[in-house]
A = this chain, B = another copy of it.
Amino acid sequence: MSVPVTMRQIAERAEVSIGTVSHVINGTAKVREKLRIRVVEAIRNLGYQPSQLARGLRRNQTSMLGMIIPDVTNPFFPAVVRGVEDVAYKRSFRVILCNTDNDPHKETSYFNELRSYRPAGLLVIPAAESHIAVQLRSLATSGPPVVCIDRRPTGWDGDVVVVANDAGSYAATRYLLRMGHRNLAVITGPLHLANAVERLKGFRRALDEARVSIEPEYIQEARFDRTSGYHAALRLLRMLPRPTAIFACNDLMALGVLLAARELNVSCPEELSIVGFDNLDFTEFTAPALTTVHQSGYQLGATAARLLVERIDGLKERPKKLVLPIELKIRHSSSPPVARAAANGRGKRYSPSTSVR
């Protein structure tokens, strides 16, 4: 029992051929009940566990789903992983997770290595500077099916599951505008990322429709993390006139904004409204609680996994682009601009009685 038990041993134990054993395991041929039982018992008794390595080699396919993500530590991704996990597990696929650390080289190396394990399918959330599209295409015909999540790498025209980024920031911006803000700033993600671009686009669209103009320096590009959001906010909050509202294109950056505001003694939401994007757990517990655009990481993952499984099952339709809906969660980091903001030089739109609450 110390050395791994193989099919041969259970064949001997059950006094059948090794081929028969394989058949009862895979249900690939009818086996006389008597023998079947003997085989099953032998398997149980010897605690036999088929070698995935041998099986995969022979079939040229394993039952693993490879999943490549930029950073487990980013609080948005774990929910996506869970979504994938749950639907994969039901279909008896196992998911193996690789963390690229947002490093394109690591991404490439994981990608290649993963492939050589012959996974049934691949799920990838591209890294920031990902060049993965070229490798992805190379296996478009021959390799396992791939679906990209959350970000579409430039040059990739296969399956993709994303959220309605554009609609999300559009809704957030409209909300700010309706409350009377005219001095809006935005902190975007890295603009070589498709989703960062889309979020900026939604923001601009809302502004254009409302015929509100924006100074170029009110558009700050950051890296989707807290620190870069914090620094961008510092720059913004020192500008004159100071923006009365900042839309941060994800919650991590919104948190950075909140921290910067605290540091500069700019009160939120009285002097500064902040809106984020993602609806991460912590947004409920910051002070004040963050208004944000909700997107479901879990649904993102689950949907992508479902699509991937369909592809594995042989779905031949042309590449799909699935877009998940978003929802604006209004909490306490946003309010109408108050007179104090007007002191910065813009017109007064509120009487002094609209005081700080």
Q: Are B99 and A96 in contact (CB under 8 A)?
A: no
Q: Are B142 and A2 in contact (CB under 8 A)?
A: yes
Q: Which residues of B contact A57 (CB under 8 A)?
A: 51, 53-54, 57
Q: Are A113 and B94 in contact (CB under 8 A)?
A: yes
* CB of A295 to closest CB in B, whole Å: 16
Q: Which residues of B contact A2 (CB under 8 A)?
A: 141-142
Binding stretch for chain B, among A24-32, A77-85, A334-342:
A77-85
**Docked pose: A225 CA to B285 CA in angstroms:** 15
A305 at interface by CB-CB < 8 Å:
no
Most chain B CB neighbours (cut-off 10 Å) among A86, A99, A281? A99
Copies of this chain in the oligomer: 2
Q: Which residues of B contact A265 (CB under 8 A)?
A: none
A315 at interface by CB-CB < 8 Å:
no
Q: Are A115 and B49 in contact (CB under 8 A)?
A: yes
A45 at interface by CB-CB < 8 Å:
no
Q: Which residue of B lies closest to A285 (CB)?
A: B286
* CB of A166 to closest CB in B, whole Å: 28
Q: Would A81 and B53 be within 8 Å (CB), given that A282-B281, A285-B282 are in contact?
A: no
* CB of A37 to closest CB in B, whole Å: 22
Q: Would A53 and B49 be within 8 Å (CB), given that A3-B142, A72-B82 are in contact?
A: no
Cross-chain contact of A53 among B75, B117, B286 (Cβ < 8 A): B117
Q: Are A118 and B53 in contact (CB under 8 A)?
A: yes
A344 at interface by CB-CB < 8 Å:
no
**Docked pose: A81 CA to B85 CA in angstroms:** 17
Q: Which residues of B contact A106 (CB under 8 A)?
A: 89
* CB of A1 to closest CB in B, whole Å: 8
A112 at interface by CB-CB < 8 Å:
yes
A228 at interface by CB-CB < 8 Å:
no
Binary CB contact string for chain A from 254 to 285 against chain B (1 if under 8 A, 0 otherwise): 01001000000000000000000000011001
Q: Which residues of B contact A56 (CB under 8 A)?
A: 53
**Docked pose: A52 CA to B110 CA in angstroms:** 13
Q: Which residue of B lies closest to A110 (CB)?
A: B94
A353 at interface by CB-CB < 8 Å:
no
30 of the cross-chain contacts (CB-CB < 8 Å) are: A1-B138, A49-B112, A51-B57, A52-B113, A52-B116, A53-B53, A53-B56, A53-B57, A53-B62, A53-B117, A53-B118, A54-B57, A57-B57, A72-B78, A72-B81, A73-B81, A75-B75, A75-B78, A85-B101, A86-B101, A89-B106, A94-B98, A94-B110, A95-B98, A96-B96, A97-B97, A97-B98, A281-B282, A285-B286, A286-B286
10 tightest A-B CB contacts, nearest first: A287-B287, A97-B97, A96-B96, A72-B78, A2-B142, A282-B282, A53-B57, A52-B116, A53-B56, A73-B78
